[in-house]
Amino acid sequence: MWQSEVRVDLDAIRENVARLKSGTSAELMAVVKGDGYGHGMVPAARAALDAGADWLGVCTLDEALALRQQGVSAPVLAWLLDPGLPLHDGVAVGVDLGCASLTQLDEMIEAGRRADRPARIHLKIDTGLARGGATVADWPALLEAAAKAQADGLVEVVGVWSHFVYADSPGHPTTDRQLAVFHEGLEMVERAGLRPRYRHLANSAATLTRPDTHFDLVRPGLAVYGLSPIAGEQFGLRPAMTARARVMLTKRVPPGTGVSYGHTYLTEAESNLAVVPLGYADGVPRHASNTGPVQLAGKRRTISGRVCMDQFVIDCGDDEVAAGDVATLFGSGADGEPTADDWAEAVGTINYEIVTRFGGVRVPRVYDGERPRAQVAP
């Protein structure tokens, strides 16, 4: 008997990737950073590859190495790389590296020497996000150094890339300005004598709405998991995650009963309370206090009082509830349950944050749609 669980529908991930692939002529990188947006990095990666993803994208070197250690051999790009990391470990197993500065380039050259093979790098230009990437002013120097390193056989410049600011608002003028800067950056790449195979810019929103940004490779993340980056539009995607728990305890209480810490909720009448063993240590935002939607006993209800570290309470009024009944926080919405979008709206955040919170140490992930894998001889 399970107490709480996150169910992940791998077939939904496959369907979403297939849908995204059908809308572009570019290759597709499924972004599986952040433990697959909370869905489990390795199972999500394998499902995406099953459906035709060509690449996988992660932030950290550790994420990339974990994929390799689990036998995932597809092309992988890692791009959030602090100074001093053992980049040679990634180079040795064919992990591509995002490069945004002369200092990073020097580290990647050294990593290639240690691994006895050129580092495969993707040069990143900052087109307006002011986060990762070389500034437009620093771009020519980075290109010159990378071209020389490639000519010397020290690196292989595989890609050039950037990242959008407002792609979730397809008509925002910043998107067009960034695209123009990216084109100018590509012209400089050509003048530097570099001919990278991949130019990539499009995230989920741009993959779905801006085909003029697809170039050679698109990088959807959120959409892989069936969540839309654009409010009010679903694009035929199917959410893959369901979070739920069994009611631990029920009790009948009189009117005016204060519920949970601080008594921020008082019962208006004699009521049945249901205690659900999930809290902020499991991924439930504390901001969901008195606002978080939950489906229980055939109805949508709202968390009553403060979310605690390990539990929350629902006032069910006169409705019959019993220990062991299933409380669904969010899912695909197909059975009327709340969705991650509903939760995001309720707590004032984005659907990305909701799903990445769940599936921690105490809440096991259960996978539907798993496929047998060929055994690899030791």
Q: Is 261 a catalytic residue?
A: yes
User: Judging by DSSP bridges, how do beta strands 271-276 and 249-253 pair with one another?
Assistant: antiparallel
What is the Cα–Cα distance from 290 to 313, expressed in whole angstroms? 10
What is the Cα–Cα distance from 203 to 311, expressed in whole angstroms? 36
Alpha-carbon separation of residue 54 from 64, 212, 350, 377 (angstroms): 15, 20, 27, 25
317-346 b/e (C-beta count within 10 Å ≥ 16 → b): eeeebeeebebbbbbbbeeebbbbbbbbbb
> Which among 37, 148, 225, 261 is annotated as catalytic?
261
The total of other beta-carbon atoms located within 10 Å of residue 297's CB is 17
Residues paired with residue 265 on neighbouring β-strands, in sequence order: 259
80 closest CA partner among 140, 20, 26, 122? 122
319 closest CA partner among 357, 353, 373, 274? 274
> Which among 21, 33, 37, 265 is annotated as catalytic?
33
Token pair recorded at residue 209:
């709405």
Q: Is 33 a catalytic residue?
A: yes
311 closest CA partner among 333, 294, 335, 299? 294
**Chain-centre distance for alpha carbon 281:** 20
What is the Cα–Cα distance from 354 to 342, expressed in whole angstroms? 10
Active-site residue numbers? 33, 261
